[in-house]
Amino acid sequence: MKVLKLLFKRETAAPMLALTFASAVSVALVIARICWTGNIRYAFLIWNLFLAWLPLIFSLLACEQYQTGTRRNWRFPALAGAWLLFFPNAPYIFTDLIHLTARFYGHFWVDLMLILLCAFTGLVLGFVSLYLMQTVVTCMFGRLASWIFIALVAGLTGFGIYLGRFLRYNSWDVLVRPVKFYHDVGAWAAGSLAYPTSVAFPMLFATFVFLAYLMLYALTHLPHTQQMALATNGQR
């Protein structure tokens, strides 16, 4: 109940309703595909979309802790850490395009649109949560620090998506399988120079996340057309 109140409070109601609608349509289309083909191959998109919602929930809870002035207890850093841990799940859905193989060419365009819809919804979910956390960082450390924060998150996200797609780790494996996780990360760091693509992928995906967020951030800060029209009419 508390999460629902945070999701649909007046300040965030519009984007939350849009994201809820987009998520519902995405899930409905995945279910429709399963019923149409009798193949549950793309049911994982529903799970991945659920994971994309978690960073938004964690960011809203972290923002509430900050606004109520309780950021000095353990809850705020714990929620911020959980947000960072799960954030790569939001843009991760774009890597599900790998499932579009020639073996399923008969449904290629349907599957392409389905994955892109889920991926874009997940990306925007992640960016809303990133904007909320950037707002907190801006209040705490200033605007310049907030953009350094965005760049760092983008870099960690690129690496996190690499771990998920190629090393097959989940966000919770950092806590559930810490020894194996850190061993594999160390092995990757030691052999990264021998395999340049293992470095290029995280860097390119980090660039994608940063630039995509920057462009959407700029779009959301355009002056409203209606306000501009009213201002113009008032000057006549």
Summarize pLDDT for 143-179 with one digit per residue, the tens. Answer: 999 999 999 999 999 999 999 998 888 888 888 888 8
Q: Specify whether the CB–CB gap between 22 and 9 falls below 8 A.
A: no
Q: What does each C-alpha distance from 170 to 32, 88, 174, 176 come to in angstroms?
A: 27, 10, 8, 10
Q: What does each C-alpha distance from 23 to 13, 29, 222, 227 come to in angstroms?
A: 15, 10, 26, 31
What does pTM read for this prediction? 0.88
Higher per-residue confidence, 225 vs 189: 189
Lowest mean pLDDT across 101-105, 127-131, 159-163, 201-205:
101-105
Mean pLDDT value across residues 202-228? 84
